[in-house]
Amino acid sequence: MKVMIVEDEILVRLGLRKAIPWSTLGMELVCEAQDGDEAYELFKLHLPDIVVVDIELPKMNGLQFIRYAKTQRPDSRFIVLTCHQDMKYMREAIQLQVNDFMLKSTLDMDELCGMLQSLSFDLTRERGETGTARLSGEAAESPIARETAERAYYALETAPIGPLREMLSEPEQQLRRDIFERLESLQFAVAKQKLGELREALTRPPLLHPHVVKNTMTEFLFRAWSACEALAAGKQAAHHRLVDRIYAAPSLDETVALLEEEMDRLEGLFALTHSGEDKAKIVLLIKQYIKTHLDREISLQDIASAFYINSSYLSRLFKEVSRTSFTEYVLYEKTELAIVMMKSGKTLTEISEKLGYLNLSSFTRMFKKVRGSSPSRYLDG
């Protein structure tokens, strides 16, 4: 999915660019614009799928830009950032069928990531369903045809399918989290084992709607590709056409088989050994793991267990390759994220909790030790 940011405040643009894990979401930030005129020209050039746009822009306001952009690509999605609660803007935005709103004064990156991912899944599903409708005609839209497809997806013949769920159960959510963890550390064998457990869980009634299953499998794909990204070294990790194949898969078994096949491919492509070149790859992978787990206390032993590496060996390896200790790197990355969150308007209390600190004083002491000054210096700037 291609994403565009339209925002005249440079700090907000920087915060969005750095704080959102674009590749993890299966997205590419293709361009940024600082005024309405530039936005329209870049939109025509890149035709992004999703646009995050401020209402108040120089030269052409955000809503005028959206109106013109929709003439170029009607199916693009728009998330509007605003400092205003003026009903005039809201009414016009609703008339333009804007997809979501977010106040800049309370900008929450997790919430924005959720919006982006939701729009991405909607677009992928909509485009897949449109293709199916074109191939199958009106029958694809009929309730009987839908129920027949849903029954076939779960290999049911004549048994009543019953109401379908739209959300994963808590045990399924836990398996989903476990698979994410394994994919992030490239533990593909364990990830496939957990995927098999999830497949078994999904066959127990009440059944999950196939489009939710496919959304979940696509999330796994994006997480695996993102984990491999830092190690690619010129190799192509992502095969985005596979997303289309997953959404077109007629059965749960085929959906799972496609994902397992991709895990096997990635495992072969990025198999790690203990050669000099792969030592650097291991450290890159660990750094990526750290960046995706900054919301918790990360210990060397936890990382060593996750990667099946002796902790003493890991400590020496990390220092040898990165020229800094494991602990120093973790704390520096926490302060980097803290600065981005400060610039996006988060309070120090919110930031300390987000980074896994029990109280503000512990976070402040750590920040001052790493950066040589208190966090308030960055907050004021």
Query: For residue range 153-179, what is the model confidence (pLDDT) as tens digits?
Result: 998 876 667 788 888 899 999 999 899
pTM: 0.47
For CATH 3.40.50.2300, the residue range(s) in the chain are 2-119
Rounded Cα gap, residues 93 and 80, in angstroms: 8
pLDDT over 50 at 234, yes or no: no
Residues 6 or more apart whose Cβ sits within 8 Å of residue 153: 210, 250, 251, 252
Average pLDDT over residues 332-341: 88
Identify which has the larger pLDDT, 196 or 144.
196
The two three-digit tokens of residue 234, written as one number: 């010129």
8 A C-beta contact, residue 72 and residue 39: no
Query: pLDDT over 90 for what percent of the chain?
Result: 13
The pLDDT, as a whole number, for residue 138 is 42
The two three-digit tokens of residue 163, written as one number: 């109401």
97 band by pLDDT with thresholds 50, 70 and 90? low
pLDDT over 90 at 107, yes or no: no
pLDDT over 70 at 6, yes or no: yes
8 A C-beta contact, residue 243 and residue 218: yes
**pLDDT tens figures, 271-299:** 654 455 667 877 887 887 788 788 777 88
| 335 DSSP 8-state letter | H
For domain 276-380, is the CATH number 3.40.50.300? no
Phi, psi dihedrals of residue 258, rounded to the nearest 5°: -65, -40
Q: Identify the three-state secondary structure at position 80.
A: strand
pLDDT over 80 at 119, yes or no: yes
The pLDDT, as a whole number, for residue 134 is 43
Q: What is the mean pLDDT of the chain?
A: 79
8 A C-beta contact, residue 370 and residue 335: yes
The pLDDT, as a whole number, for residue 124 is 76
For CATH 1.10.10.60, the residue range(s) in the chain are 276-380
CATH: 1.20.120.80, 3.90.550.60, 3.20.20.70, 3.40.50.2300. Which one for 2-119? 3.40.50.2300
Identify each DSSP E strand in 194-351 by its residue range.
none
Spatial CA neighbour of 374 closest among 365, 164, 151: 365
Rounded Cα gap, residues 126 and 212, in angstroms: 13
Q: Identify the three-state secondary structure at position 5.
A: strand
The pLDDT, as a whole number, for residue 131 is 47
**pLDDT tens figures, 301-335:** 877 776 666 677 788 888 888 889 998 999 999 99
pLDDT over 90 at 245, yes or no: no
